[in-house]
Amino acid sequence: MSIFNVISLGGGLALFLFGMTLLANGMEKVSNGRAEKALERLTGNIVFSILLGAGVTAVVQSSSLTTVVVVGMVNAGILRLQNAVGVIMGANIGTTVTGQILRLGDLENNANAGLIMQIVKPSTLAPAVSIIGIILILTAGKKELKKLVGETCLGFGILFQGMFAMEAAMEPLQSSPTFANVFASLQNPFLGVLAGAVVTGIIQSSSASIGILQALSSTGAITCSAAFPIIMGQNIGTCVTSLLSSIGASKNAKRAAMVHLYFNLIGTVIFLVGVYSINATIGFSFWSDPITKGGIANFHTLFNVVATLLMAPFYKGLAHLAEITIRDKQSAPAPKAGGDNILDERFLSAPGLALEQSSVVVQEMAMEALENFRQSVTLFRKYDPTLVQEIMRREDGIDSREDRVNNYLNHVAEGQLTDPEQKDLSMLTRLVVEFERVGDYAINLVERAQALAEQKVRFSETALDELETICGAVEQAIIMASDSFRERNIEMAARIEPLEETVDTIENELKLRHIRRLKNGQCTIDAGLVFLEVLTYIERVSDHCSNIAVLLIARKNGSKTLNRHEYIKKVHQGETDLYKHEMQEFMDRYFNALPPEEA
């Protein structure tokens, strides 16, 4: 081979890898993270786990991505180790799809192919799909899905163009005795496995290394006896990615990575013994024949399907083997979902899942803020320093979650996001602020209660009853805001505005009552000023609940933002019978439940 062939080979490899990346990214984005999110809904059924792992990997076109996400889920406590075993097995099957697509290259040598076969030949199909892809991209405008489908089609075309370039560059090797001798040496099964593992470990993609092997098969120098051990080694080499991703993770996450390695190691040993024993006793007629792209794809699929069928009944034993390898120094419980590992960096490779995990943390903030609000208002009736410490600890947790999720979302924003993911990111970033402010106002209430306790000043029973009534309405608003966010319930979110308007009405009424009490000397100046401050803090909490509702409604309507004041103005101008009914319902429940004003 001349230097020009080497350059052409490198260029073809670059196109091939770029096409594969573009194809995988396009398919992953079209799925909008749904494939990865499906992994969260696993059951303990090993068959279902295998099928789901295969399906997810076929969609995202990367067993490495699937296994890395699985390691992250085990690390976060979302997925049990035994459930992860089935997914990992399925991922190995799903990754064989790429090789089956690339086997279409065998049609190029079929001169007697009919019209349909001529059309699906890569030399015809790849340029045609590329043309469709670029047309879709250029005409997509703001249609995100159309653009993503175009990128997927373009990736498919580039993938084959890269393979054509590699095959053309390697044509001189067909008559090279040195090249033939190299692959003859790889008929030694151990050298073949080692070569396949090293190459795949370097490029960290079994699909890519299988594709390169398929391109090399066009030279005719690769026999079945040389290809089989290389393919087995490629399955081992792809474990490098998951092993690297488990560094610094929990013991169970490391065990998940070891399951991936053990599955391929054991499968390779079984196949080496089985294939070479059969060939030695019975003999394969094709053993010394050149292997085709289809032969490579079929053996790759056969290896993973048979290995899965053999080891699936012993999936618990595979998990136990990993546990023996990665031992606990002392008995420790598995991490719980929602722990510190829930925002795992491994999820950043799947933005949809990363946003889903961020959403879980924001939900935790909402529940902590709700509990702090509930407890803070009780301090006005009975001040309890122990309860204050508990509230402050919970506030520290809210602040910690805010910092973690904001930092995590910044990392998510650095990736390539689809338009829906961009909108989810924008919504979550603002929701973090809203729920954190609810927590802050709870602390403001604590500080006001503390000030009254230090001054030995107390609200009247009537004032305390009034506070409990308005706080009940605001607590309901926080619950509705939290539930509508968790359930993505827009109908519930729309009910927050009439409740917020009810809170405003109650606040105005209580301020008027309190001013009259001040004038009549029924309340001290010190207590009166604090009471007015407290009312303001409570009402602002309901404002933030209204903000949350607006953000959720905006996201449902496909927008990143929605002007709250314009939305409220529009709602009030076009008040429907439903809005009036809900407003009356909240007025009856809270405003009309206010204690009678003192004479």
pLDDT at 132 over 80: yes
Highest mean pLDDT among 30-34, 197-201, 265-269: 265-269
Highest mean pLDDT among 21-35, 387-401, 515-529: 387-401
pLDDT at 37 over 70: no
CA 450, distance to chain mean position in Å, is 43
At 337, is the pLDDT very low, low, confident or very high (cuts 50, 70, 90)? very low
pTM over 0.85: no
At 332, is the pLDDT very low, low, confident or very high (cuts 50, 70, 90)? very low
Chain segment 55-114, per-residue pLDDT in tens: 888 877 777 778 888 888 888 777 788 888 888 999 889 888 888 887 776 666 655 555
At 266, is the pLDDT very low, low, confident or very high (cuts 50, 70, 90)? very high
The Cα–Cα gap between 143 and 96 comes to 31
Tell me the pLDDT of the chain averaged across its residues. 83
What residues contact 318, with CB distance under 8 A and at least 6 apart?
85, 259, 262, 263, 311
Q: 580 versus 170: which is more confidently predicted?
A: 580
At 561, is the pLDDT very low, low, confident or very high (cuts 50, 70, 90)? low
**What pLDDT score does 352 carry?**
82
pLDDT at 572 over 90: no
What residues contact 481, with CB distance under 8 A and at least 6 apart?
366, 493, 496, 544, 545, 548, 549
**What pLDDT score does 183 carry?**
65
pLDDT at 591 over 50: yes
At 518, is the pLDDT very low, low, confident or very high (cuts 50, 70, 90)? confident
Reference 498, options 468, 471, 476, 465; nearest CA is: 476
Average pLDDT over residues 469-492: 94
Chain segment 275-319, per-residue pLDDT in tens: 999 999 988 888 888 888 889 999 999 999 999 999 999 988 998
Q: 7 versus 552: which is more confidently predicted?
A: 552
At 18, is the pLDDT very low, low, confident or very high (cuts 50, 70, 90)? confident
Give all domains of the chain, ordered by start, each with its CATH number.
350-593 (1.20.58.220)
Neighbours of 141 (CB within 10 A): 8
The Cα–Cα gap between 21 and 15 comes to 10
Cβ atoms of 158 and 15 closer than 8 Å: yes
What DSSP string describes 474-525? HHHHHHHHHHHHHHT-HHHHHTHHHHHHHHHHHHHHHHHHHHHHHHTTSS-H
Average pLDDT over residues 343-349: 83
pLDDT at 171 over 80: no
**What pLDDT score does 174 carry?**
62
Three-point CA angle 325, 329, 332, nearest 5°: 100
**What pLDDT score does 587 carry?**
93
At 537, is the pLDDT very low, low, confident or very high (cuts 50, 70, 90)? very high
Neighbours of 554 (CB within 10 A): 20
